Chains A and B, each alone.
Chain A
Amino acid sequence: MSVKTLIINEQLVSAGEEQTVLEAAQDAGIHIPTLCYLEGVSAVGACRLCLVEIAGSHKLQPACVTKVAEGVEVSTNTERLQKYRRMIVEMLFAEGNHICSVCVANGNCELQDLAIEMGMDHVRLEYQFPDRHVDGSHDRFGIDRNRCVLCTRCVRVCDEIEGAHTWDMAGRGTNSHVITDLNQPWGTSQTCTSCGKCVNACPTGALFDRGSSVGEMKRDRVKLEFLMTAREHKQWFYDSI
């Protein structure tokens, strides 16, 4: 395997010829924001967050699918790229219903992290407030499509790693959405192995483990009664719910 030498942000970087600009940058400790990219599955270049400038080309290139080449000069964090990236994140917030305070992924969300990284303190675009389908038919997992950013990570892990291909895309443009099987309820899916890879791959709170979503906490009132009888009558009867 031959080695290519390129310049990323005025820093000389060596990379294997099969590597992408993103991999070369990551190996050199240079951070490029990503969203649809997930190590281990194929790259699709759809989110456009990893766009970089390449000297001599007026076209911006997605670092996750652009192979390294000898001598190219790459800039990953120009003012123009920062502006575009901020707008991409703004677009995602305007497109879905991303209300961090009531989301299961609050604090563990890549979209939230990106908004913070881009310094997105408000959204200038008009919120679209979609009314998308929520599917709670699966025993262990749930999907709230209002939080989906259409990165297709779930589709790719399910197909390429688990080999089940339960997930897929349906619709087009603003009506794009992920579906299970041929748009059947997730709980009735014949192909889903309930492996949970999709839930772990999801960057937002769209796919979640049941029991962790807001409003699913159940109180054990019997315990209060148990404590009272234990204290007052020295009797320990406990029937949990």
Chain B
Amino acid sequence: MDLQEGVIPALAVDTPVDYESLTQLGSIMGSGGMIVMDQNTNMVDVARFFMEFCMDKSCGKCIPCRVGTVQLHRLLTKIRQGEASLADLELLEELCDMVKYTSLCGLGQSAPNPVFSTLRYFRDEYLALINSTTQ
């Protein structure tokens, strides 16, 4: 996977590396690069790392990408630090949807992908960090 694309779980290890199969899984082909991670990697950290990349690479022309990536990065940091509530998780998903569909170019449109795919396959890792806090 490329830096801006989806995270897919171990059970999809037999997926053919082609455009259609990876799109179905919520990822994209990109340049065909792949990063393999084991269970020691926190998936919220992964999403946060990718979001930091997008935040730095945003050109700043359109509002959803310029502000959205910063806000998403802040929310992911808040979740990682165990300070987020369920409402923050809801806001995270709402922001992801908005940034994806309103951004001007491909950078903003694909910036929420790592959050979408980690939420899709590793939602329990997000919930574990949220449940441990008092709301």
Q: Using a CB–CB distance below 8 Å, which chain A residues touch chain B? A: 44-48, 51, 60, 62, 83-84, 87-88, 91-92, 94-95, 124-126, 128, 149-150, 169, 171-176
Contacts and interface: CB of A to CB of B under 8 A. Distances in A.
Contacts of A124: 91
B104 interface: yes
B55 interface: yes
B74 interface: yes
Contacts of B74: 126
A48 B61 CA distance: 10
A84 B60 contact: no
A46 B61 contact: yes
A76 to B, nearest CB: 15
B86 interface: no
B102 interface: yes
Contact of B56 (A45, A92, A173): A173
Interface residues of B, number: 26
B98 A87 contact: yes
A48 B64 contact: yes
Contact of B71 (A44, A94, A172): A94
Interface of B: 55-64, 66-71, 74-75, 91, 94-95, 98, 101-104
A150 B62 CA distance: 9
Contacts of A95: 63, 66-67, 70
Contact of B70 (A46, A60, A128): A128
B102 A84 contact: yes
Contacts, number: 81
Given A45-B104, A125-B71, A88 B60 contact: no
A87 B59 contact: no
A48 B59 contact: no
Nearest to A49: B63
B101 A91 contact: no
A83 B63 CA distance: 15
A173 B66 contact: yes
A163 to B, nearest CB: 23
A172 B104 contact: no
Contact of A87 (B66, B95, B104): B95
B102 A175 contact: no
B59 A173 contact: yes
